[in-house]
A and B are shown apart, each in its own frame.
Chain A
Amino acid sequence: MMDAMFLKRIESVIKSQKFMQHLGAEIVAVEAGKVSLELKYDERWSQQKGSFDEGVVGVLANHAAGLAAATTMQDGRGCQVAEYKLNLLTQAKGDKLVAEGRVIKSGRNLVIAETDVYIFDQGKRVNCALLLATLVAVS
């Protein structure tokens, strides 16, 4: 799902994310409190042959959580990641990664968001990582 209103709200954030552009991550879904990012496999992002580096999994998961949080920010406010924890469930070996970020709670000062990361390997979808983050709302 691609919600135009929420996409507009996070447009400036997307434009400023040069590292995501460098990686070639694409936004595949945006709605209230939810953002999904996709990253196709490239040897440059590999850790071992055929698998994504754990740091790349983390950066994608983090950005999905950050953008999901950004959809809940109003009146020009933004948010910054204060901390995150990443659990790597399986090796991320496959054709592409999809990070599904979701806001658990958006408060006045803090936003708690989580991301499930899936690895697609020859059409098979496996939950390969889990991120849980705290973001601080800034004006």
Chain B
Amino acid sequence: MSDLIAKNPQFETVVRDSFSRQPFMELIGARMSDLKPGFCEITLDRDTRLTQQHGFFHGGLVGSVVDSAAGYAAYSLYPENSTVLTVDMKVNFLRPADGDTLVARAQVIHPGGKLYHLKGEAFSVTEGEETLCMTGVFTMMCLLGVADATSLGKDKVRAST
């Protein structure tokens, strides 16, 4: 879908700034490797602390990284002074994510008013070869006039430990 147009000309700055403020993505070492209007890619290198008992990337983590990519793919199309929240996600795991790197990609399928529908995929990468390991659908909400900040800017900032 190349006909998607960003409403906010500063979308790249806004989205990348928001991503840099996600402590969980920072914790796992995820980086935003591509961003276009309606599309986002997040890359994550393998670390044994991110794996489950079989040595594969943990499924919940794979879902989380694609969720983050989907949220930012949607957010890239939002107008100024707005923020994003996941409404729902459904994923199917196709193969174990047993590669050196995990690449999450999400694409807006339908930009609505309040709700945006997306498709998301995760690829396991070994020696440059990508294998599709997860596919899913995501619904994101567009919150207008709400700050992209802790507690949506409404509450006191929670103390971090």
Contacts and interface: CB of A to CB of B under 8 A. Distances in A.
Partners in one complex: yes
A85 B135 contact: no
A62 interface: no
Interface in A9-68: none
Grouping DSSP codes into helix (H, G, I), strand (E, B) and loop, the B interface class, with mixed when no group exceeds half, is strand
A97 to B, nearest CB: 16
Contacts of B105: none
A130 B109 contact: yes
Contact of B92 (A90, A112, A127, A130): A112
Q: How large is the interface on B (under 10, 10 to 19, 20 to 34, 35 or more residues)?
A: 10 to 19
A139 B90 CA distance: 28
A104 B117 contact: no
Contact of B94 (A89, A112, A127): A112
Contacts of A130: 109, 117, 119, 137
Contacts of B112: 89-90
Contacts, number: 35
B94 A104 contact: yes
A104 B95 CA distance: 11
A104 B135 contact: yes
A127 B137 CA distance: 14
A80 B20 CA distance: 44
B110 A132 contact: no
Given A127-B110, A134-B92, A89 B135 contact: no
Nearest to B138: A87
B136 A127 contact: no
Contact of A114 (B95, B110, B135, B139): B135
Contacts of B110: 89-90, 127
Contacts of A112: 92, 94, 135
Interface in B130-160: 132, 135-137, 139
A74 B94 CA distance: 20
A105 interface: yes
